[in-house]
Amino acid sequence: MPEKPHLLQIGSVTDRMRSRFEAEFTVHILFDQPDRAAFLAQMGRQIEAVATDGHWGVPDDVMAALPNLKVVSSYGVGYDAIDADGVAAKGILVAHTPDVLNDEVANTAIMLWLAVSRNLIPADRWVRSGDWEAKGNMPLAQSVQNRTVGIVGFGRIGQTIADRAAMFDARVLYHARSEKDVPQEYYADLTEMARASDVLICITPGGAATRHLINADVIDALGPDGILINVARGSVVDEAALVTALSEGRLGGAGLDVFEAEPKVPDALKQMDNVVLTPHIGSATVETRQAMGDLTCDNLSQFLKDGTVLTPVPECRGLM
Ligand code: NAP
């Protein structure tokens, strides 16, 4: 039997993914190697495929040690941790997992908005602490009905969020690099959109182009009654400016799934009742992670079959 091609696994995978990798590849797990440099020096030339995720990408030392790498399959839609242009220039295909997580991430965004707006976490605490019995009813919350919702990033997930927001009779605005042929209102100027919005939901890619897109000016435009939801990447929001605005009452509240230095979260945010924090769980359900895992494996299987992948990142489409 011919030797199976060698695959380097970076980050953790499910058992189901591991079984599929092992059926087609000789699998090496980067983080199991006691001496990473020695392992890369010894095995690097044999590795033709990498399986990774949106958090780890392909670190520079790993990429430099894999001269025969042909394909990278990433378990996630966001690939800002991979230098896609640089990798594509070397003729290496990069695949990701778009679409299969649109509903889940949109649901997470809406869950955070509802939780912040309706004071879900303080309400739960009110019951558990005995405050309900001792103090009576809680102060009133803010409705999610009939709000103006500004969506920053209007791609696959952003448009799915818009569909969800319509169920609350929202007026939906959006900001993206380009205007789309959609009924929602386009704002080329993000600060202007924030000024018009009650809720701003961020769902752009991360990376240099979107770093601190949500800055102090945007936050001030959203204002003391406004709510910021971030399910994009931590880098998209200027976290220091966000913390300052929240602590000075210049922003009404925030729902945050992603942070600048995950898993570190500023202590100040943890103290705030008008902030809901989740540990990057946008797509983290059994069902959606299974679909993402299957697509990660399907991309590799397809590559072995005919040298293409099912869902390449845009930078690599020219390679197929
Ligand atoms: P997508 O379909 O590629 O949509 C991205 C949108 O962002 C597009 O509308 C794009 O504008 C816009 N955009 C890109 N760069 C921009 C910039 N510099 N300024 C303004 N808008 C910009 O991607 P998707 O599938 O919806 O995923 C979006 C992102 O969500 C991922 O890249 C990832 O970072 C994040 N995400 C997070 C989680 C989580 O667990 N929290 C899970 C999944 C995804 P154009 O339409 O004009 O090109």
Question: What CA–CA distances, in Å, run from 62 to 32, 38, 51?
Answer: 14, 12, 12
Q: Which of 161, 121, 147, 119 is nearest to 222 (CA)?
A: 147
DSSP labels for 55-98? Answer: TT---HHHHHT-TT--EEEEESS--TTS-HHHHHHTT-EEE---
User: From the CB of 170, is ligand 1 less than 6 Å away?
Assistant: no
Ligand 1 atom having least distance to the Cα of 98: 25
User: From the CB of 176, is ligand 1 less than 6 Å away?
Assistant: yes
Torsion angle (degrees, nearest 10) of CA 274, 278, 281, 282: 20
User: From the CB of 231, is ligand 1 less than 6 Å away?
Assistant: yes
Question: What CA–CA distances, in Å, run from 216 to 85, 97, 195, 210, 220?
Answer: 30, 32, 13, 14, 6
In this structure, the number of other CB atoms found within 10 A of the CB of residue 260 comes to 18
**Residue bearing the CA closest to ligand 1, atom 34:** 205
292-295, long-range: CB within 8 Å, 24+ apart, which pairs?
A: 292/75, 292/76, 292/97, 292/100, 292/101, 293/13, 293/14, 293/16, 293/17, 293/75, 294/16, 295/97, 295/100
User: From the CB of 253, is ligand 1 less than 6 Å away?
Assistant: no
The Cα–Cα gap between 317 and 320 comes to 6
Query: How would you class 198 by CB atoms within 10 Å of its CB: exposed for 0-12, middle for 13-18, buried for 19 or more?
Result: buried
Give the per-residue pLDDT at 2.
78
Distance spanning both ends of the chain, measured CA to CA: 29
Best mutation site among 154, 181, 203 for ligand 1 pocket (most ligand atoms within 8 Å of CB)? 203
Sheet containing strand 26-29, strands side by side: 26-29, 6-9, 47-53, 71-75, 93-95
**Residue bearing the CA closest to ligand 1, atom 39:** 282
CA of 249 relative to ligand 1 center, distance in Å: 29
User: From the CB of 206, is ligand 1 less than 6 Å away?
Assistant: yes
Active centre residues (catalytic):
233, 262, 280
DSSP labels for 172-236? Answer: EEEE-SS--SSSSEE-S-HHHHHHH-SEEEE----SGGGTTSB-HHHHHHH-TT-EEEE-S-GGG
DSSP 129: T
Half-sphere exposure of 92 (CA within 13 A, CB side): 23
CB crowding 284-309: b at 16 or more within 10 Å, else e: beeebbebbbbbbbbbbebbeeeeeb
CA of 77 relative to ligand 1 center, distance in Å: 9
CB contact set of 265 (below 8 Å; sequence gap of 6+):
259, 277
Structure confidence by residue, pLDDT tens digits, 188-218? 999 999 999 999 999 999 999 999 999 999 9
Question: What CA–CA distances, in Å, run from 241 to 80, 117, 189?
Answer: 23, 21, 19
CA of 121 relative to ligand 1 center, distance in Å: 28
Structure confidence by residue, pLDDT tens digits, 215-270? 999 999 999 999 999 999 999 999 999 999 999 999 999 999 999 999 999 999 99
Ligand 1 atom having least distance to the Cα of 210: 18
CA of 78 relative to ligand 1 center, distance in Å: 8
**pTM of this prediction?**
0.97
User: From the CB of 203, is ligand 1 less than 6 Å away?
Assistant: yes
Length of the chain equals: 320
Q: Which residue stretches of the chain have pLDDT < 50?
A: none
**Residue bearing the CA closest to ligand 1, atom 20:** 176
SS3 153: coil
